[in-house]
Amino acid sequence: MRIIPAIDIINGQCVRLTKGDYSTKKVYNENPLEVAKMFEDVGIECLHVVDLDGAKAKHIINYKFLESIANNTNLKIDFGGGLKSDEDLKIAFNSGAQQVTGGSIAVKNQELFLNWLEIYGADKIVLGADCLDHKIAIQGWQEESDKEVSEFISSYVNKGISYVICTDISKDGMLQGPSFELYQTLLKSTPPFKLIASGGISCFDELPKLKELGCEGVIIGKAIYEGKISLKQLESYQLNQL
């Protein structure tokens, strides 16, 4: 199972939110590149970068920070937030993203999202399935859709999607544990896909449980920044998986 630390960016700073609420913003570092290098130094290979300014503005904004991380580390970066057009996507890939995650666009403009999938392939286009009470949420989690998460994922897996990041918004930033039951249900009730768990990770012991469920990866944010999971623990986990 891949360990994927998250760097969420607002105004060029590394921040975390609680349940996607921008008013809960907490700044952890003013230099995202410094944070990325810290992860790379302990053997982390993948990074999830979210342009929270872009998610709110509905177009990519913080691509210069993506470029800086890509040019100065060997991390494989998945980038999301504000990707709403072909131009946004080109900017993300040209700035060094190796994967991009589309959530709102997959709800609002299925035709465009499927066109991206056809052009770039399933290894580069990740489906973002962020949900609250099993309903997909969009626009930086500011809006709820009528899409049920299991049906939403199934429909896209049947159209060729391989990777899905699923965040239970009620768990995000709460440090009270991930949505084990949700992930178990999704992995049992949908066609095979690579599930990346996100939201609520609170301690190291939850990681083996997610792996046992069949998660392909796990995104960890606040638990690292608040010292609930140490970089040393992540380093040991990475070495034990080799």
Percent composition of the chain: helix, strand, coil (DSSP 3-state, to 5) = 40, 30, 30
Annotation says 133 is catalytic: no
**114-152 burial, b for 16+ CB within 10 Å, e for fewer?**
bebbeeeebebbbbbbbbbeeebbbebbeeeeebebbeb
Token pair listed for 217: 């990866």
Question: Cα 213 to chain center, whole Å?
Answer: 19
Which residues touch 28 (CB under 8 Å, ≥6 apart)? 14, 15, 16, 35, 225
- H/E run at residue 100: strand 99-102
Annotation says 8 is catalytic: yes
* Alpha-carbon gap, residue 20 to 60, rounded angstroms: 18
Catalytic residue among 53, 78, 88, 130: 130
Is residue 167 classed as helix, strand or coil in its secondary structure? strand
How many alpha carbons lie under 13 Å from residue 6 in its C-beta half-sphere?
28
* Alpha-carbon gap, residue 19 to 85, rounded angstroms: 26
- Catalytic residue ranges: 8, 130
